[in-house]
Structure 1
Amino acid sequence: MYKILVACRAGVGSSLMLKIKTQQVIKENNFPIEVEHGSLDSLNGFNGDAVETVIDVADELKQKNLKFDVIGIRNVVDRNEIKTALEQFIASKEK
């Protein structure tokens, strides 16, 4: 089981919508993923496999060489985009 933190700067708007859509995709596809939700401040204590966030925040986080993967999503309500991103994440872990 993989653990993903869905986060944005404040942890209120875009990340909450992204969390809901991500949970729908996980359920529909039986992905082995559990989701946590928070703001970027949550990254400090996060002990999981990846952070999922909007693309501009993801680009910033990728520059920081974090200990977990960063998944960037352009459209937080596009379940197809989320599904593709999660499939790529799972495939990268199963290599």
Structure 2
Amino acid sequence: MKEALVACRTGMGSSMMLKIKVEQVVRENNYPIKVHHDTLSAVNQFKGDLLITLEDLVPDVKDKVKYVIGIKNLMDKEEIKSKLNEFLEVNV
């Protein structure tokens, strides 16, 4: 089971909506991913496999995690699915 953190600056609005969409995609596709939620400041303590955040925040965190996914449209389940598939292909 892979551990993923969904985060944004404050951990309230956009990342909570993104977490819901990610969990839907994970459930619908039976992905072996457990989804957590927090603020970007929690990234330093996160020991999981994947960070999922908004695309504009990727430069702020790309050196702090093993793998990061930047999402352009947090409501686009196809974008989320595609990027999770890419992650799973190299991290099985």
Q: If the TM-score is normalised by the length of the shorter chain, which range does it land in?
A: over 0.9
What does residue 12 of structure 1 align with? 12
What does residue 87 of structure 1 align with? 85
TM-score (norm 1): 0.92
| Aligned residue runs from structure 1 range 41-60, under 5 A | 41-60=41-60
Unaligned runs of 5+ in 2: none
CA distance in 2, matches of 1:67, 1:42: 11
TM-score (norm 2): 0.95
| Percent pairwise identity | 47
Provide the alpha-carbon RMSD of the alignment. Answer: 0.9
Q: Could you tell which deviates more after superposition, 80-89 or 53-62?
A: 53-62
How many residue pairs match? The answer is 92
User: Which of 66, 69, 78 does residue 67 from structure 2 map onto?
Assistant: 69
Indicate conservation of the 8 Å contact 1:17/1:76, yes or no: yes
CA distance in 2, matches of 1:67, 1:14: 20
Deviations 1:56-86 (A, max 9, x none): 0013322xx2242111000001000000010
Unaligned runs of 5+ in 1: none
What does residue 37 of structure 1 align with? 37
Amino acid at match of 1:28: E
Indicate conservation of the 8 Å contact 1:59/1:72, yes or no: no
CA distance in 2, matches of 1:59, 1:80: 23
SS of residue paired to 2:4: strand
